[in-house]
Amino acid sequence: MSSYIPEGYKSLLSIYDTQKAISLLKRLFEDRLAALLNLYRVSAPLFVEQESGINDNLNGYERPVAFDILRSDKKAEVVQSLAKWKRLALKRYGFYPGRGIYTDMDAIRRDEDVLDNLHSVYVDQWDWEKIILPENRNRDYLKSVVMDIVEAICDTQDTMQAIYPKLQSLSKLKRTVTFIDSQDLEDMYPDMTPKQRERIFTREHGTVFIMGVGGKLKSGMPHDGRAPDYDDWELNGDILFYDEVLDQEMEISSMGIRVDEESMDRQLSLAGCDDRRKLPYHRMLLSGELPLTIGGGIGQSRVSMLLLGKAHIGEVQASIWDDDTMRACEKAGVVLL
């Protein structure tokens, strides 16, 4: 799907007020998320060593941006997410169960195959990670964390609408989360694609968490791609909100309880990625040297779009766009940053 602007769309805020509002909502959301999940802000790398195994390979086909370093024989890659780095950081920093970290993550997705209203070459998100106990590795705990994240987003919307009255024309996001397993969703709509299932289900329920992403379903296909070495495919999922401006689902977060030794061993084999076992990070995890954690990423630009009623992600972030996107936005009077 290419970029499109709904008929009659007009930004609720000026460009100046939009910039101010983005800054404010980010501070509000960070503070609320940190309070609910007991997280502490840390600094994070923009790039990591290519041979470390720390970088996230996402669905397995995206090429990270790589470069060499003068006066060094090491090669570096711009991070695609910080899923593995955060777990190592929690070990190095001496955190204990019940506490975690969050940080800004900026990435370049050079292989993003479609640039549309929600997808950009530039990715900005809050990456967070928290140490848990063995007894927390279950879906009930996962659901409780999802509800905390949704609460933080909804609380931020309430405050933003109080400060910017023009935003009150947007409907309140639904605080009640509807949880559904990806297999149950496929059983409900067997003739639809995963994205079509997400759209119809989120339109009906408003706020949704789809559980169990990465493993193959009865159809032989996964609901969506997920690397085998960070999320446990049985204990993860995606948070989606209904976006009234675009009349579609908006995925805000991919998250989950992370793999332990047993689940990573199984998933590496299922994914045909046994060669990763020799990488430093994977050796540490398989030998039980890393803490058990839960974590994920929360899209900063998408949260900004949702709470400010924007039709295109380019209204809240600066990136590079294809000619079709630029023409569509110019025709509709939408200014891209």
Question: Annotated catalytic, 254?
Answer: yes
Question: Quick one: tokens of 135?
Answer: 């007894």
Determine the Cα angle at 145 with ends 142 and 192, to 5°.
Answer: 60
Paired tokens of 159:
């405050």
**3-class SS string, 227-248:** CCCCEEEEEEEEEEEEECCCCE
Catalytic residue among 56, 127, 229, 249: 56
**Count of CB atoms situated within 10 Å of the CB of 70:** 4
Q: Return the SS3 of 265.
A: helix
Catalytic residue among 254, 304, 317, 319: 254
Mark whether 104 is an active-site residue: no
Given the residues 87, 109, 199, 276, select the one marked as catalytic: 109
Catalytic: which of 3, 80, 120, 125? 125
How many CB atoms sit inside 10 A of residue 67's CB? 10
- Are the C-beta atoms of 50 and 73 separated by less than 8 Å? no
**Beta pairing, strands 178-181 & 100-108:** unpaired
70's tokens? 């003068």
Active site residue 238: yes
DSSP-assigned states of every residue in 36-95: HHTEEE----SEEEGGGS-S--TTTTPPPPEEE-TT-S-EEEE-S--HHHHHHHHHHTT-
Asked if residues 133 and 119 have their Cβ atoms less than 8 Å apart, the reply is: no
Q: Are 281 and 273 in contact (CB under 8 A)?
A: no
Is 125 one of the annotated active-site residues of the chain?
yes
Whether 14 is catalytic: no
Give Rg (Cα) of the chain: 20
Torsion sign across C-alpha atoms 219, 254, 81, 130:
negative
Question: Active site residue: 155, 232, 234, 238, which one?
Answer: 238
d(CA 307, CA 181): 27
Q: For the chain, report the end-to-end CA distance as a whole number of angstroms.
A: 21
Query: Does the annotation count 43 as an active-site position?
Result: no
- The set of catalytic residues is 56, 109, 125, 238, 251, 254
